[in-house]
């Protein structure tokens, strides 16, 4: 199979980013109306925050997982696998990191193809066969090829800012706006709450769709959809055996993982990923498509 642009993904990304941009304009407009004397510092802080989030997202992601970049001498087989798959995906070889964790998982990070990194846990290397691990790494390379990490980082920026205002707005606003009036601070917090909820739902929808696309892209790279399907089922089955303290520590990385950490009904309802069953079904359909070619 040849790698083809997924116009469905691109269309949904564009539409979601358009809606998020519209939210951003409304959000800044509300801040300008109620905090006209202080809007410039707010914009400066938001711009600096976006820049830091965009340019340092790869390092922050690796640090959050406790993943360390490894050399070819340390993990020769892993490096050889990533090199081969990167050539097949027509990508520059990303940095490779390993996290010492029992949790069987992997993720990709980096704002561009040249600054990307693929991280795997020791748990996933001990759980999967070589063919299954290839499928997982190819899935992560598909994320890099689709620039998903950069897009999701930018898309989540407004949601993060809104959440911080909801959480800390009253404290930093002193409970009052201009002339001792509480109304501006209250309106700002309520507007931020609405923006956070809407952007949260939009980003979750976009994230779930990109996983289907990365699954297909990974299967195209390896030519073995069944290997990735097997890996997904095996990883999903092992998640129930992961200690709860490990899950709590790494839950914030859900959007980057190949299989998310689920935490009850709410976690499943607002998951960043489709269900494993749906992903496996799509991969089996792709397998049948390959067999007929």
Lateral strand order in the sheet of 67-69: 67-69, 95-99, 117-121, 106-109
Q: Which residue has the higher pLDDT, 253 or 53?
A: 53
Q: Is 140 a catalytic residue?
A: yes
pLDDT score at 43: 63
Q: Where are the domains of the chain?
A: 7-291
Task: Read off the pLDDT band of 74 (50, 70, 90).
Answer: very high
Q: Torsion-angle region of residue 66: left (phi > 0), alpha (psi -120 to 50) or beta?
A: left
Q: To the nearest whole number, what is the mean pLDDT of the chain?
A: 77
Would you state the pLDDT for residue 247?
43
Regarding predicted confidence, which is higher, 159 or 213?
A: 213
Separation CA 143–CA 201 (nearest Å): 21
Structure tokens at 251: 């839950």
**Residue 93: which pLDDT band, with cuts at 50, 70 and 90?**
very high
- Distance between CA 15 and CA 278 in Å, rounded? 24
> Of the segments 12-26, 42-56, 125-139, which one has the largest average pLDDT value?
125-139
Q: Which has the closest alpha carbon to 151: 142, 143, 159, 161?
A: 143
Q: What is the model's pLDDT at position 248?
A: 44
Number of C-beta neighbours around residue 23 at 10 A: 20
Q: What is the mean pLDDT of residues 142-152?
A: 85
Q: What is the pLDDT of residue 243?
A: 47
Look at residue 165 in the predicted model and tell me its pLDDT: 66
The SS3 call for residue 47 is helix
Give the per-residue pLDDT at 265: 46
Supply the pLDDT for residue 97.
95
Alpha-carbon span 94 to 109, nearest angstrom: 9
166 Cβ contact list (under 8 Å, min separation 6): 189, 192, 193, 196
Q: How many CB atoms lie within 10 A of CB 278?
A: 14
Highest mean pLDDT of the ranges 103-112, 117-126, 263-272: 117-126
The whole-number average pLDDT for the span 98-116 is 88
Q: What is the dihedral of CA 172, 174, 178, 179, to 10 degrees?
A: -160
Nearest to 278 by CA among 193, 216, 191, 212: 212
- The model's pLDDT over 6-33, given as tens digits with 9 standing for 90+, comes to 677 667 767 777 777 777 677 766 666 6
The burial class, CB within 10 Å (0-12 / 13-18 / 19+), for 57 is buried
Q: Which of 131, 140, 245, 281 is catalytic?
A: 140
- Cα pseudo-dihedral 20, 21, 27, 32, rounded to 10: 170
Arithmetic mean of pLDDT, 214-219: 92
Q: 274: number of CA atoms within 13 Å, CB side?
A: 18
Q: Does residue 1 have a pLDDT over 50?
A: yes
CA distances, 170 to each of 34, 35, 190, 209 (Å): 14, 14, 11, 36
**Segment 95-101 mean pLDDT:** 94
Q: What is the pLDDT of residues 222-266, one digit of tens each?
A: 999 999 999 999 998 765 544 444 444 444 444 445 655 554 444
pLDDT digits (tens, 9 = 90+) for 187-198: 767 777 777 788
Helices (H), the chain: 7-34, 39-55, 57-65, 76-88, 122-127, 130-145, 148-172, 183-222, 225-239, 244-250, 264-269, 276-291
């Amino acid at each position: 199979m040849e790698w083809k642009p997924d116009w469905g993904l691109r269309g949904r990304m564009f539409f979601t980013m358009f809606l998020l941009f519209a939210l951003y304009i409304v959000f800044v407009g509300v801040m300008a109306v109620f905090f006209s004397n202080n809007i410039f510092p707010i914009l400066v802080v938001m711009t600096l925050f976006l820049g830091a989030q965009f340019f340092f997202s790869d390092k922050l992601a690796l640090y959050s997982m406790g993943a360390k970049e490894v050399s070819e001498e340390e993990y020769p087989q892993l490096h050889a696998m990533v090199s081969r798959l990167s050539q097949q995906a027509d990508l520059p070889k990303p940095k490779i990191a390993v996290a010492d964790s029992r949790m069987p998982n992997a993720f990709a990070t980096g704002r561009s193809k040249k600054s990307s990194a693929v991280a795997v846990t020791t748990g996933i290397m001990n759980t999967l066969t070589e063919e299954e691990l290839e499928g997982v790494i190819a899935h992560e390379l598909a994320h890099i090829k689709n620039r998903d990490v950069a897009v999701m980082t930018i898309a989540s920026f407004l949601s993060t800012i809104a959440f911080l205002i909801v959480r800390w707005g009253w404290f930093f606003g002193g409970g009052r706006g201009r002339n001792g009036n509480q109304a501006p601070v209250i309106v700002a917090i309520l507007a931020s709450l609405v923006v956070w909820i809407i952007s949260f739902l939009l980003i979750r929808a976009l994230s779930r769709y990109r996983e289907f696309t990365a699954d297909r892209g990974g299967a195209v790279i390896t030519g073995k959809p069944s290997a990735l399907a097997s890996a997904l089922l095996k990883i999903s089955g092992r998640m129930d055996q992961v200690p709860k303290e490990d899950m709590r520590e790494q839950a914030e990385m859900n959007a980057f993982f190949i299989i998310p950490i689920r935490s009850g009904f709410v976690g499943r309802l607002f998951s960043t990923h489709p269900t494993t069953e749906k992903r496996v079904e799509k991969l089996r359909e792709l397998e049948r498509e390959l067999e007929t070619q």
